[in-house]
Amino acid sequence: MITENKNQDKKSVLKGLNNEVQQNRGLDLETNPNGDSNKGVGKPVDNGGVATSKFDKHLEKQWLAVRDNYLANFPELNDMDTTYDNKGFSTLIQKLAKRRRRTSEQVREEIMNWSSSQ
């Protein structure tokens, strides 16, 4: 049961909705009145695309040349699966870095500077 004063709206001067916020706008108004919404967005981020650089191809060739020797020098990597597909070489580098508690960039530099006779 409603116990509020039902006559309170009848005393209103406006005789309609009393809403201070504009609910819709005309077609001639800007869609973003505060300015350019794309301002300061910057360049898009590559979120895992397949594109590889020449450096990655060279790194991969170097990895194939020094893999056994590299893994033999780090016992914490002995039980690690080092197989990868064409798209997963960067994932392998990330796993190596995580296992060795280093950054991916440090592992990349280490592999590039690793001599096959080491």
Residue 62 belongs to a domain: yes
Question: Between the ranges 19-28, 35-44, 55-64, 89-98, where is the mean pLDDT highest?
Answer: 89-98
How many CB atoms neighbour CB 73 within 10 A?
10
Least confident window among 62-66, 76-80, 86-90, 104-108: 86-90
11-53 pLDDT, tens digit per residue, is 666 666 666 666 666 666 555 555 555 566 666 665 555 455 6
Domain count, the chain: 1
Under the phi-then-psi rule, with left for phi > 0, alpha for psi from -120 to 50, and beta for the rest, what region is 75? alpha
Q: What's the rounded Cα separation, in Å, for the pair 110 and 112?
A: 6
Would you say residue 15 lies in a domain?
no
Whether residue 14 lies inside any domain: the answer is no
Whether 28 is in a domain gets the answer no
Can you give the residue range of the structural domain that contains 79? 54-113
Is the pTM of the predicted complex or chain greater than 0.75? no
pLDDT at 113 over 80: yes
Q: Establish if 18 belongs to a structural domain.
A: no
Round to the nearest angstrom and report the end-to-end CA distance of the chain.
Answer: 88
**93 in any annotated domain:** yes
Asked whether residue 36 is domain-assigned, the answer is no
Q: Is residue 98 part of a domain?
A: yes
Confidence class for position 110, pLDDT limits 50, 70, 90: very high
Q: Is residue 86's pLDDT more than 80? A: no
pLDDT band at 91 (very low <50, low <70, confident <90, very high): confident
